[in-house]
Amino acid sequence: MQTDSSFTFVLFGGTGDLSMRKILPALYEAHRAGMLEASGKIIAVARHEEDRGGYLQWVNEHVKAHVSKNGIDENAWSSFLERIEYVKLDLGKAEDFVKLRDAMQDLPGTRVFYLATGPSLFVPICRALASVGLNENARIVLEKPLGYDLRSSNAINDAVGEIFAEGQIYRIDHYLGKEPVQNLLALRFGNALFEPLWRREWVESIQITIAEELGVEARGDFYDNTGALRDMVQNHLLQLLSIVAMEPPHSMDSDSVRDEKLRVLRALKPIDPRDIGKVAVRGQYHAGVIRGASVPAYATEPGVKTDSATETFVALKVEIENWRWAGVPFFLRTGKRLADRVAEIVVNFRAVPHSALGSSALRPGANRLVIRLQPNETIRLYCLAKKPGEGMNLSSVHLDLAFDQFFKEGQMEAYQRLLLDVIHGRLALFVRRDEQEAAWKWVEPILNEWAASGKPKPYAAGTWGPAAASAMLAQHDTCWLEEEN
């Protein structure tokens, strides 16, 4: 299906890892599916001394491996490459931005500037674009992390906001583009079955986990100055929490959705620094074994200080102080070098108040909803049923919604959906500035307390993190999902 939205997509950091692994593959998939206006152009920008032919050769070598399991359609790939131009640009040279402006002068439609660069370059790029008049009829996409703390985040937002209006700024969080997250909204607000149960009277607890098997890879310098709380909790996990806990918006327009998310973030119970030891666990991986292979300790990774106190694991107990969720614990967890790669939301419903069918109907977790975001995107509802045979013996069964099996249409990757939303001017799945500020305000007391305290708790690579994370849940008579299984 062709759109009527002409565009020029300018990709800063056009030779970088993010561009090769995510952005260009997503644009190719949209092109192959006929979802991009035929006249739309892509201009890659980088410092490399390349002409267009050299850049296209680079794309051929580095992008094809990251295209979806459907593989490459050579005809579609060839026509996709015809969209791409390349501009060598030095951020310190004003004349290079004049060159970029001239390259865009006769191109129609909306201008999209995607900043797949470090956050230190956001403000210089925006100012340089404005200096040559490229901030008009334009949208700017900012990758995380947006700052190091509330102060630095505000400084970037203030500077970018002087050049682009809030409605032009797209702060991207790719977890919000994942299909199950979108389906969570559909399940909650499109079905009478779930919405009456989605509250403190019927929900015992909620877990949100983003676990990685990988370590810091080649990002040691960056990660050692960031840590898991900034890298994952302040954005991804709190955004998922706000989607899970938000009130029904009056419509699905961008500000209605984001207003409700903001209310959740502002309702997060502030963490008293004196209680951080009870509700927050930080860890750092030591050497261990993952899938039969030995992996090194975090402190020996390239770019990491040998005496580093940076956390690679975080587990938190979070409370929301509003009518719907008062008293319901939300457990958030993320970490590197864990036992498995998984991202999921687990909604544990309360047990029935009385059972004539035996104690199994009263156990926690008998009814739960598991929303798997990765690696396979599924939604699974657990309930109890009678086992075949004599007697009333109950067993856990589940109903599955596996998107790749149920829907004949191919799934859209998160970046593909979000890039199309930018091109079409849809802001609902992007983070508004006041959301970001609320998240930083909540996280900062934890950051400050950890900066003043000792080192993180050790955990062996290939495990599920420090034992303290399990002990925190045990205080609430529950456990992480994989521990129950």
Task: Compute CA 446 distance to the chain's CA centroid, rounded to the nearest angstrom.
Answer: 21
Q: Which of 331, 396, 388, 391 is nearest to 363 (CA)?
A: 396
Residue 315 to residue 228: CA distance in whole angstroms: 10
DSSP-derived secondary structure for 169-187: EEE--GGGGSHHHHHHHHH
178 is in an annotated binding site: yes
22 is in an annotated binding site: no
91 is in an annotated binding site: yes
96 is in an annotated binding site: no
231 is in an annotated binding site: yes
171 is in an annotated binding site: no
Tokens of 430: 């992007």
Q: Which of 327, 362, 271 is nearest to 476 (CA)?
A: 327
Place of tokens 């080649």: 218
261 is in an annotated binding site: no
- As a residue count, the chain comes to 485
DSSP state of 338: B
Active-site entry in 66, 236, 250, 424: 236
174 is in an annotated binding site: yes
Residue 428 sits at φ, ψ, to 5 deg, of -60, -35
Residue 397 to residue 395: CA distance in whole angstroms: 6
Q: How far is CA 32 from CA 24, 213, 273, 418, in A?
A: 12, 32, 52, 16
82 is in an annotated binding site: no
CB 181 within 8 A of CB 174: no
β-bridge partners, 112 = 9, 139
As a whole number of Å, the CA-based R_g of the chain is: 24
Strand, coil or helix: 441 = helix
Whether residue 236 lies in the annotated active site: yes
What residues are designated binding site for NADP(+)?
Answer: 47, 90-91, 144
What residues are designated binding site?
Answer: 47, 90-91, 144, 174, 178, 212, 231, 336
What residues are designated binding site for substrate?
Answer: 174, 178, 212, 231, 336
Residues labelled as active-site residues = 236
